[in-house]
Amino acid sequence: MYKSNKLHGLSEKEVKESREKYGENSLTKKKRKGFVRSFLESFGDPIIKVLLTALAINTIFLFNSADWFESVGIATAILLATLISTISEYGNEAAFEKLQEEASRINSRVQRKNGLVQIPMSEIVVGDLVLLQSGDKVPADGIIIQGQVDVDQSSLNGESKEAKKTAPENGEFIANVRGPRACT
């Protein structure tokens, strides 16, 4: 449990301690699969398995007759489908990585002991006081300590209506810290 009622912000020492204890405010990056590995994994798709079975059956019967056009057609369909699927998936992964990189460059205004500073989202730590204005992206999980804000949560829960978030009446705020993306 993290309890705070300080409005002056964290000192450099407190920032360092918080970062060591809770980690960075960033998503864990998965190692990207190679193109060949993704291509081979595409053969696990149920439709591709059905086509492979049809190809195997057709190949068995190919020895009884000389009609090899169907077998070549099925094999071509399998290769094209897996290749297109792999290219699409690979491109989507690259686009997602680019979006994550762009999001990490967004700066947030944070009250620290030495004043108001602008820092990248990844440098926000548990205990930081983040100042939000209209149009700002919420950089981490947190607790409102003063004022109110309408938050677009559609990317999280699909709701198109904005959610109203307000500070508690008594001025005391207590948060259960659940991990590196939490901050106050």
Topology at the third CATH level for domain 2-27+107-175: 2.70.150
Phi and psi of 126, rounded to 5°?
A: -60, 130
Per-residue pLDDT tens digits for 105-151? 788 888 888 888 888 888 888 888 888 887 777 777 777 777 788 88
Domain limits, the chain = 2-27+107-175, 35-103
What DSSP element (H or E) covers 172? none
Per-residue pLDDT tens digits for 32-76? 788 888 899 889 999 999 999 988 888 887 777 667 788 888 899
Contact 148, 134 (CB under 8 A): no
Give the end-to-end CA distance of the chain in Å, rounded to a whole number.
12
Nearest-10 crossing angle of helices 69-104, 46-62: 160
